[in-house]
Amino acid sequence: MNVAVLTGLDRIEKEWPKQLKSVRAGLLAHPASVNGRLEHAADIVLKSKKFKLNAFLGPQHGIRGETQDNMIEWEGFKDKKTGLPVYSLYGNVRKPAPEMLKNIDVMVIDMQDVGSRYYTFIWTMELCMRACFENNKSIVILDRPNPIGGNITEGPVFNAGYDSFVGRRPLPVRHGMTIGEIGSYLKNEFYPALDFYIIKMKGWK
């Protein structure tokens, strides 16, 4: 495959954490969760030999863009292709309920951020980290590039008391991190006991 950067999704089978053997997994993904061949993460992880996929979870806009219109909330359904549950994290709940996690041991997160704290995807990830911490589940983040670069930070950190779903934890407007690096920051600062892994990229600078 002739690409400059391999994402965590591209490397998932080769770099899957050795500590996580024969586990049940849930996948949090969105429309941009594709590999270098433009294959969607939902299709890739179904074929994994490292874990058994038991559930899908979707953020704003759904897993494959089912609710692409900007602010439309959506509720879960059963995937017609696989029969697996698809849980919405942009409907009645933003944080996974224990019922959504009962049949998984690890949550695999593959989402493309835009480099700004205003996007909801990183905050959906943070709420998933919180839920997994509270329910003794593991997290594996498949890292992806920051599309506006990792060398510059810009803008203020919001004042205490003004947190929302477009800014739950202290970050500058342009944060300069990949989604895996944001996950590391959130783990170290807020969920130090969370069982947490990152499948890193190859070729990202």
- Locate the domains of the chain by residue range: 21-199
For the stretch 69-91, pLDDT in tens is 667 888 999 998 899 999 999 98
Is the Cα torsion angle 7, 12, 17, 23 positive or negative in sign?
A: positive
- The conformational region for residue 95 under phi > 0 = left, psi -120 to 50 = alpha, else beta, is beta
Query: Which of 189, 183, 188, 196 lies closest to 139, judged by CA?
Result: 196
Read off the tokens for 43: 């299709």
Read off the tokens for 58: 């979707």
pTM of the model: 0.93
In this prediction, the residues of the chain whose per-residue pLDDT falls under 50 are 1
What pLDDT is stored for residue 143 in this prediction? 98
What pLDDT is stored for residue 73 in this prediction? 87
What pLDDT is stored for residue 100 in this prediction? 97
- Domain 21-199: homologous superfamily in CATH: Uncharacterised protein PF07075, DUF1343 (3.40.50.12170)
What pLDDT is stored for residue 39 in this prediction? 95
Read off the tokens for 164: 């929302």
What pLDDT is stored for residue 169 in this prediction? 83
CA distance 29 to 163: 24
Query: Which of 26, 172, 155, 135 lies closest to 87, judged by CA?
Result: 26
What pLDDT is stored for residue 61 in this prediction? 87
Which residues are registered as beta bridge partners of 85? 78
